[in-house]
Amino acid sequence: MFSLLLGVLYILAPTVWGDISQRASLANNLASNGTGTPYSMNVTDCPGYTLGLLQESDTGLTAHLTLAGPACNAFGLDISDLIIEVTYQSQSTLHVKVYDTANQQFTIPESVIERPAAPTTSYAGNSDLIFNYDTTPFAFWITRRSDPGAMPLFDTRTSSLPPTPIPPFNASDASTAFDGFPLVFEDQYLQIASALPYGTNIYGLGEVIASSGFRRDIGTDGGVGTIQTHWARDVADPIDQNMYGSHPIYVEHRYNATTGKASASGVLLLSSAGSDIFLQTPPNSKVSLIEYRMVGGILDFYFFSGPSDAEVIAQYGSVIGYPMWQPAWGFGFHLCRWGYHNVSDDIENVAQMRAAGIPLEVQWNDIDLYHAYRDFTTDPVSFPGDELRSFIRELAANNQHYIPIVDVGIAVTVNSTDVYDPYTRGVEEDVWIKNPDGSPYLGQVWPGYTVYPDWFSENILSVWTEGLRNWTEMGVEFSGLWLDMNEPSSFCSDSCGTGANYSALAPLSVAGTVVPGYPECYNETIWGPTGNMTINGTSTNSCAAGSTTSTVVEKRGVGAGGEQGVNLNTPPYAIHNAIGSLNRNTLATNATHFGGYAELDVHNMFGFMEEKTTHLAVQSIIPGKRPFLISRSTFPSAGKWTGHWLGDNYSKWQYLYLNIQGVLQFQIYQIPMVGADTCGFNGNTDEELCNRWMQLSAFVPFYRNHNTYAALPQEPYRWDSVANASRIAIAARYAMLPYWYTLFANSSMAGLPPVRALFYEFPDEPELFTVDRQWLVGSDVLVTPVLAPGATTVDGIFPGRGSVIWRDWYTHAAVNATAGGNTTLDAPISHINVHIRDNSALLLHQEPGYTIYETREGPYSLLVSLNAAGTAFGTAYVDDGISFPPGPSRSLTFQAAGGTLVIESNGEYAISQKLETITVLGVQKPTQVSFQGSSADNWTYEEATEELVVSNASVDLNGQFTLTWK
């Protein structure tokens, strides 16, 4: 949040960029390892390593790697002695770890991310993945036992990679050259590369908003390739730049055009080091490649064999941890507004939502909640504690919920009379990050000078819990928490408050801010600041059909400037951090953590470690209930502790589309509870954009409307058409809650992604590999949103190439779809196209209510969509929706074949609600319908949709049930 406003709030420190030749000259002349020996800044002469002292075991092998020649010292000091450990973790997961013998390089502690235990069963002989190696120079490649003749999944042999040197693919950036592909392992630089099939399909490697879409640009088909930088930063949703989170995991979907079959695999580099990951296909090369360049750490790879995309994602989850259990209420509609309001305004908003009949589950508050922007406080004028407590309790009485924001920077007291217990307690317990000399590290955020929690500190959990608990006692009785600014963000560079006059820096202010601009095609100079679709009966759409503009954001720059020496703040290899040097707008990389860890090594984990600490704190404050957290900066394993929103997006049609790839990415990252700020955050929205966005977001996991300070209000009741669209979409969402809930239970228990790209379910259809304007909820619900202004139709592809029957969610009519190509669908305003796949059975809530609680208290219905063979299958997971850890549950199975539907039920949880309506689609007109062996007369049949409806069934879902039709 807030990134767009920073330019008006403070002046960024100057950065010397220089041209490439100047940078190279400075680097060669001035970079030093401290002994006077310059680094070569080139890997051409790096000798690689030789493998020796090999020891094999039932679970893998261990060997030593020794530098194979004179040290090249390319961007640091070569480490001459390494150890490689190869572990067959399971039949589908292979672990390859290369680290320095002295154990001096940073390794992510097991206490931070728990890894799988050593296998007790030998998988070396039956794993689908095989580790192969050459001894001199050392290289390794990973093959499939099930497909030994295929190109390796990962291959570091120089002979498999394109010949070098390869000139820069970006002529203005010398660092985009490939001088050679040796294994390089130095104290400040690691490099390893692998060949990939030419033009293969790569997904992941985020967090990023990629101009190429969900499928990453690998340098073929007219693409320029990708440099994905991993360095967490606070920035308003840029395109093709590093941003809030770091996830060095990719899924490769490999298609064999000869056989017409595809398989998936995955690769994780579990490292928090700042890094560049290159995806490229050099000119005239027969292969593509991926290269990792890291400024520290070790090589800690996990390889996943799939062979399906969903299985790869699940196998990744088994390594870093499956996602947290979500409370059922978290799937409701959330509402937040920043600025120009108080607790009375929130009360009025809640009343307006109810008057408009738009369900509201959770009310949020942004930093205007705070007193002087300080965490764990409330503003005594706008949000007095007693009034806020009354409001929150009124929400709770109506089965609604409340979530406040928590910024990560903690204000320092400005003088001896300033009383601020969270800061003071942290000083007493020694939990703040320090400068190298032991003094407190002081950055600058909204309250002024701030300290930052050291998540490695032994006392941080107790201090953080105390702050949150005290907040609840002041009236902020939260149901969940929103973690922001945790890259971590600072409005200055370095420890800017060290030695400063604290009282001279007042909290920042955005008072008087005016937010300019509206979405494309809306001209406020003509139509005024209403955002309405029509004014006096005239459309405000000023764009010709198909002429929508895009928000153009420059691709990343060269990165940090020339390096004048070696230290933690300026590593010799400058990763392509889009804002420049690594300390810009965040902690300096020499900031020191408990245990002696440097920020350079742990920076990318900061947000994740806050999420883990906060989750544990909330568990103790609200015992017995599942925590609900949404956070901005994330890292592998974050999904165990939090969900994520997609950051400070823009009220633009382009960002309506771009949020789809964000949702798909985070399913890979095992953070499935994800969504964008609906209707856009930065800038002003308008009626049409908000209408379409409220529909789209109803079919992604996290559903929140939130906008920036001083922007046009965008609560969905503000426009009649948006209110109507919201009611329709939320009714569908709440009806589908048992389906959503089951998908998330499968995610928490087995790591399976709730939201899926179309090719996950239809892997052998290449026309789907780039589709990111549609998505599947689970395997059975296809969503095709409108993404352009003025549209009354939308084109969408129906997977299956004609072998699958897709039926309309609203009408139940089968679609006459074009096999393998787009089908044009009607999409009037307030309508989003949703279709149900055949061979499916969805347990639904029959009567969507105003809240999730009311909805869950009502009866169930069952929607069965038969395929051409007359079969269908589905499951449902049911529990109380709130207990932590999950208590008793019940699993339901629905299976239809040969004119019979069988419901089976197992588990200890007692379902009190009855199944009242059963709808079966694809049935020829029956002459007799029976359930539990007795003839039924409470049924109807609709010829046009081949629809059998059994009503007033009152089925007890705790037992077995059979329905037949003849």
Among all residues, which ones are annotated catalytic? 484, 487, 648
- The distance from CA 964 to its chain's CA centroid, rounded to whole angstroms, is 44
With both helix axes pointing from N to C terminus, report the angle between 720-735 and 737-750 in degrees, rounded to the nearest 10: 60
Q: Which residues pair with 825 in a beta bridge?
A: 794
Judge whether 951 and 939 are in contact, CB under 8 Å: yes
Q: How far is CA 157 from each of CA 44, 142, 154, 183, 200, rounded to the nearest angstrom? A: 15, 11, 9, 10, 19
**DSSP string for 738-790:** HHHHHHHHHHHHH---SEE-HHHHSTT-GGGTT--S-EEETTTEEEE---STT
What are the helix (H) ranges across 455-520?
460-473
Closest CA to 210 of 549, 558, 661: 661
Q: Whole-angstrom Cα distance, residue 611 to residue 606?
A: 9
For residue 77, give the DSSP letter: P
**Token pair recorded at residue 849:** 């209510």
Q: Dihedral sign, CA of 474, 478, 483, 485?
A: negative
Angle at 27 between CA 49 and CA 165, to 5 degrees: 50
Instruction: Give which of 661, 745, 667 is closest to 696, Cα–Cα.
Output: 661
Contact 306, 287 (CB under 8 A): no
**Residue 829 one-letter amino acid:** I
Cα distance between residue 668 and residue 670, in whole Å: 5
Q: How far is CA 278 from the centre of its chain?
A: 21
| Residues whose CB is less than 8 angstroms from the CB of residue 11 and which lie 6 or more positions away in sequence, other chains included | none
The SS3 of residue 387 is helix
Q: What is the C-alpha separation between 315 and 300, in angstroms, rounded?
A: 16
Q: Which helix (H) or strand (E) holds 171?
A: none
Q: What are the tokens at 225?
A: 């390739």
The span from the CA of 345 to the CA of 338, in Å, is 11
- Among 118, 97, 117, smallest CA distance to 108 is for 97
What the block records as the tokens of 266 is 């995955």
- As a whole number of angstroms, the distance between CA 645 and CA 794 comes to 27
Distances (CA, A) of 793 to 37, 395, 698, 865: 66, 39, 19, 25
Residues 544, 549, 554: CA angle, nearest 5 degrees: 165
Report CA torsion sign: 772, 679, 833, 675. Answer: positive
- Pinpoint the alpha helices (H) of 801-866: 852-857
Cα four-point dihedral sign 686, 692, 695, 701: negative
- Break the chain down into helix, strand, coil percent, rounded to 5: 20, 30, 50
What are the residues whose beta carbons fall under 8 Å from the beta carbon of 8, sequence distance 6 or more?
513
SS3 call for 178: strand
Q: Which two tokens stand for residue 215?
A: 């499928």
Hey, CA dihedral for 32, 35, 40, 43, is it positive or negative?
negative
Backbone torsions φ then ψ of 56, nearest 5 degrees: -100, 150
Exposure of 780 in the CB half-sphere (CA atoms within 13 A): 22
DSSP state of 699: T
Separation between Cα atoms, residue 768 and residue 512, nearest integer Å: 48
For 321, the token pair is 């941890």
